[in-house]
């Protein structure tokens, strides 16, 4: 049986550099940083006092005051991005096909903001004052569940948690569902609202975060010799995925084709990446095999590129293992240099950026790249956008727990 082709027909994004796809993409091409001092809470006693925050985001305007109070911030982001993707796709979901339409979210930590706020309330006022909405507000699966209620999606509906690889895995598994005939349409992506004091303190005490408090816009510097940790971010990305047949039958505008997906585990350490890059290389090879492509077919690689010492070095080694000498010719950039690290939401927004690179013929830069690192010696598209015809783009995501995911998106050829 011939494998069903899967295409991308809708895009939606909320992130530190823009609250819609066009705004975020233009900011990327301009090399604009979305990193700044934390304003969501008092961060004065933290070692890291900056992050990539979503800005000018009016939840009451989007959802109304009553409904907004019943959703955690990560659900606000997911729903806003999903609404943009839905509108962009032009989908009209009819009741008779609702069971063929689903949603899958990738999220690392769910409604941690709600959990902390309700715990503080309990300690201050007593358990009788805990919100009856607390549990659904903090559960990651509530986000795709809410979207299903809003749009009438009766097909597969779930969440995936693989730390920073969560939304890459969500996209890959959504594609697998469509390919095997379990669905015709999937809303897939990720969301995270991890800019909360407890999470920042925890990451900081692990030694994972940058402490460049005097210059936050230049703190996220993937592959640069002077990198000192990642910068936390928040937001969401959602893609509408369809079988090619379904998209063509309704006359949809097709942005690109989802070509390949690979996943692997380091089986090495609960937080540190495998120093040799072997685990990540397994996922990259698996994605290439799934797509039926050779390494030389990839035009652009959106790197995981977190700006930590260990990740950037091990990812560079993984790329060299798979691509060989071609690794030095491959255009690689880390858009986390501008957005910060959206954790479970990172893979989804980066898949959108890969799609836009194919459509526009422009590769976003890695900003803040100033001092080359001898151990990271590839072409990271430093500081300036590059105009290149991009036919096939790859996106890497690697998460705590040793989870590795890789996606390949290509130009759609009917």
DSSP for 129-177 reads GS-TTHHHHH-TTHHHHHHHHHHT--S-EEEE-BTBTHHHHHHHHHHHH
List beta partners, residue 393. 300, 409
- What pLDDT, on a 0 to 100 scale, did the predictor assign at position 1? 64
Is 294 considered catalytic here? Answer: no
pLDDT in tens, 6-16: 999 999 999 99
Distance CA 414, CA 257 (A): 10
From the candidates 76, 304, 376, 406, give the one annotated as an active-site residue.
304
Q: Is the pTM value of this prediction over 0.75?
A: yes
Please provide the distance, in angstroms rounded to a whole number, between the alpha carbons at the two ends of the chain: 19
Structure-token pair, residue 24: 């975020």
Q: At residue 391, does pLDDT exceed 70?
A: yes
Instruction: Measure the CA–CA gap between 257 and 343, rounded to whole angstroms.
Output: 25
Q: Annotated catalytic, 107?
A: no
Q: Residue 341: what pLDDT?
A: 98
Distance separating alpha carbons of residues 14 and 21, to the nearest angstrom: 8
Distance in angstroms (rounded) separating the CA atoms of residues 301 and 331: 6
How far apart are the C-alpha atoms of 75 and 143, rounded to whole Å? 5
Length of the chain: 414
Percentage of the chain modeled with pLDDT above 70: 100
**Runs of H (alpha helix) within 264-408:** 278-291, 309-323, 336-339, 346-360
77 with 146: CB under 8 angstroms? no
Model confidence pLDDT, tens digit, residues 213-262? 999 999 999 999 999 999 999 999 999 999 999 999 999 999 999 999 99
The structure tokens listed for 272 are 């540190």
Look up tokens 């979210």; give the residue. 105
Catalytic residue among 15, 101, 107, 164: 164
Q: What is the pLDDT of residues 59-90, one digit of tens each?
A: 999 999 999 999 999 999 999 999 999 999 99
Distance CA 286, CA 294 (A): 11
For residue 367, what pLDDT band results from cuts at 50, 70 and 90? Answer: very high
Q: Mean pLDDT score of the chain, rounded to an integer?
A: 98
Question: Which structure tokens are listed for 101?
Answer: 């339409």
Angle at 395 between CA 252 and CA 411, to 5 degrees: 35
Cα–Cα dist 360/53, whole Å: 26
The single residue of 341, 376, 403, 406 carrying the catalytic annotation is 341
Known catalytic membership, residue 403: no
Query: What pLDDT does 2 receive?
Result: 79
Domains and CATH numbers, the chain: 7-249 (3.40.47.10), 257-410 (3.40.47.10)
d(CA 190, CA 405): 14
287-309 pLDDT per residue, tens: 999 999 999 999 999 999 999 99
Whole-angstrom Cα distance, residue 74 to residue 110? 7
Do 279 and 264 touch, CB atoms closer than 8 A? yes
The pLDDT, as a whole number, for residue 139 is: 97
């Amino acid at each position: 049986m011939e494998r069903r082709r899967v295409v991308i027909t809708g895009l939606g994004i909320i992130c530190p550099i823009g609250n819609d796809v066009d705004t975020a993409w233009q900011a990327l091409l301009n090399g604009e940083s979305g990193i700044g001092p934390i304003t969501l809470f008092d961060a004065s006693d933290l070692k890291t006092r900056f992050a990539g925050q979503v800005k000018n985001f009016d939840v009451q305007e989007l959802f109304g005051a009553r409904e907004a109070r019943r959703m955690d911030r990560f659900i606000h982001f997911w729903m806003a991005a999903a609404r943009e993707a839905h509108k962009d796709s032009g989908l009209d979901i009819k009741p008779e096909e609702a069971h063929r339409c689903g949603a899958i979210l990738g999220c690392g930590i769910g409604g941690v903001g709600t959990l902390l706020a309700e715990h503080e309330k309990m300690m201050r006022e007593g358990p009788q004052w805990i919100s009856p909405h607390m549990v659904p507000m903090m559960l990651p699966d509530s986000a795709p569940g809410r979207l299903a209620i809003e749009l009438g999606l009766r097909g597969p509906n779930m969440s995936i948690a693989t730390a920073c690889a969560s939304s890459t895995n969500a996209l890959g598994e959504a594609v697998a569902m469509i390919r095997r005939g379990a669905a015709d349409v999937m809303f897939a992506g990720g969301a995270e609202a991890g800019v909360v004091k407890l999470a920042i303190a925890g990451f900081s005490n692990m030694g994972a975060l940058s402490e460049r408090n005097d210059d936050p816009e230049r703190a996220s510097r993937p592959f640069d010799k002077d990198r000192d940790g990642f910068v936390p971010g928040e937001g969401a990305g959602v893609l509408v995925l369809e079988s090619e047949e379904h998209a063509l039958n309704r006359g949809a505008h097709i942005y690109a084709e989802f070509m390949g997906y690979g996943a692997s585990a380091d089986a090495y350490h609960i937080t540190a990446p495998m120093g040799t890059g072997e685990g990540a290389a397994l996922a990259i090879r698996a994605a290439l095999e799934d797509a039926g492509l050779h390494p030389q077919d990839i035009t652009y690689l959106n790197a995981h590129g977190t700006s930590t010492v260990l990740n950037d070095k091990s990812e560079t080694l993984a790329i060299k293992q798979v691509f060989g000498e071609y690794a030095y010719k491959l255009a690689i950039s880390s858009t986390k240099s501008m957005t910060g690290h959206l954790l479970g939401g990172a893979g989804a927004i980066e898949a959108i950026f890969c799609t836009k690179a194919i459509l526009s013929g422009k590769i976003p830069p890695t900003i803040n790249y100033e001092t080359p690192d001898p151990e990271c010696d590839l072409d990271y598209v430093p500081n300036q956008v590059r105009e290149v015809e991009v036919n096939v783009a790859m996106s890497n995501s690697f998460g705590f727990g040793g989870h590795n995911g890789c996606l390949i998106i290509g130009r759609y050829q009917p």
